[in-house]
Amino acid sequence: MKRLLPKSLLGQVTLAVALTLFLVQGVNAVFAWNIEKDRVETALVNTLGLRLIASQRLRDSDETNLVVRLDPRPPRQFEQRDGAPRPPRRGGRRFSGTDFTRAEIFESLPVDRALPELEERLAETLRNNGRDFTELRMVARPVSADPVAQRFLRRLAMRWGLQDDDIPSEIAVAGVSDGERWDIVRAPIRSPHRHFGPVFPMARAALLTALLCFVLWLVLRRITGPLAQLTQRTERFSQKPGAGKPMEPSGPEDVRRLIAAHNAMEARIGAMLDEKDVMLGAIGHDLKTPLAALRVRVEGVENETARARMVDSIEDITRTLDEILGLARVGKSDASPEKTDLAALAASVVEEFEDTGETVALEAARVVAPVHLTWLKRGLRNLVSNALRYGGNASVTVLTEENSAILRVEDTGPGIPEERIADMLEPFTRGEASRNRATGGAGLGLTLARAVAEQHGGTLELSNRPEGGLRAEFRLPL
397 pLDDT exceeds 50? yes
SS (H, E, C) the chain: CHHHCCCCHHHHHHHHHHHHHHHHHHHHHHHHHHHHHHHHHHHHHHHHHHHHHHHHHHHHCCCCCCEEECCCCCCCCEECCCCCEECCCCCEEECCCCCEEEECCCCCCCCCEECHHHHHHHHHHHHHCCCCCCEEEEEEEEHHHCHHHHHHHHHHHHHHCCCHHHCCCEEEEEEEECCCCEEEEEEECCCCCHHHCCHHHHHHHHHHHHHHHHHHHHHHHHHHHHHHHHHHHHHHHHHCCCCCCCCCCCCCHHHHHHHHHHHHHHHHHHHHHHHHHHHHHHHHHHHHHHHHHHHHHHCCCCCHHHHHHHHHHHHHHHHHHHHHHHHHHCCCCCCCCEEEEHHHHHHHHHHHHHHCCCCEEEEECCCEEEECHHHHHHHHHHHHHHHHHHHCCEEEEEEEECCEEEEEEECCCCCCCHHHCCHHHCCCCCCCCCCCHHHHCCCCHHHHHHHHHHHCCCEEEEEECCCCCEEEEEEEEC
321 pLDDT exceeds 80? no
320 pLDDT exceeds 60? yes
Mean pLDDT value across residues 249-276: 84
199 pLDDT exceeds 80? no
- The answer to whether 171 and 141 are in contact (CB under 8 A) is yes
- The answer to whether 406 and 475 are in contact (CB under 8 A) is yes
pLDDT tens for 326-370 read: 666 665 555 678 888 999 999 998 998 888 888 889 988 888 888
In which band, very low, low, confident or very high, does the pLDDT at 197 lie, cut at 50, 70 and 90?
A: low
Q: Between the CA atoms of 63, 66, 72 and 78, what dihedral angle is there, to the nearest 10 degrees?
A: -80
Paired with 287 in beta bridges are none
Determine the Cα–Cα distance for residues 320 and 318; give it in Å rounded to an integer.
5
In which band, very low, low, confident or very high, does the pLDDT at 37 lie, cut at 50, 70 and 90?
A: confident
Among 185, 188, 190, 163, smallest CA distance to 95 is for 185
**Domain limits of the chain?**
2-66+93-196, 335-477
Residue 98 vs residue 431, higher pLDDT: 431
**CATH superfamily to which 335-477 belongs:** Histidine kinase-like ATPase, C-terminal domain (3.30.565.10)
Q: What local confidence, expressed as pLDDT, does residue 329 receive? A: 66
Q: What local confidence, expressed as pLDDT, does residue 251 receive? A: 79
